[in-house]
Structure 1
């Protein structure tokens, strides 16, 4: 079982990397 605090750290650390990847993908497709 993962402690809630560690889970939140992983979760909120994971989102920006996903957003960056999605943003890069969208730009590479649009331009």
Structure 2
């Protein structure tokens, strides 16, 4: 595995993780507002 590919994979997985966390936070905030 080349460092460039490894870095690209890291950036992509990091972006997906960040979006996933944001989506979870958005759902949590909506759930709290619904209470």
TM normalised by structure 2 equals 0.63
Q: How many residues align?
A: 26
Aligned-pair Cα RMSD in Å: 1.2
Greater fraction helix: 2
Q: Provide runs of 4+ in structure 1 moved above 6 Å.
A: none
TM normalised by structure 1 equals 0.68
Q: Which runs of 5 or more structure 2 residues have no equivalent in the other structure?
A: 27-35
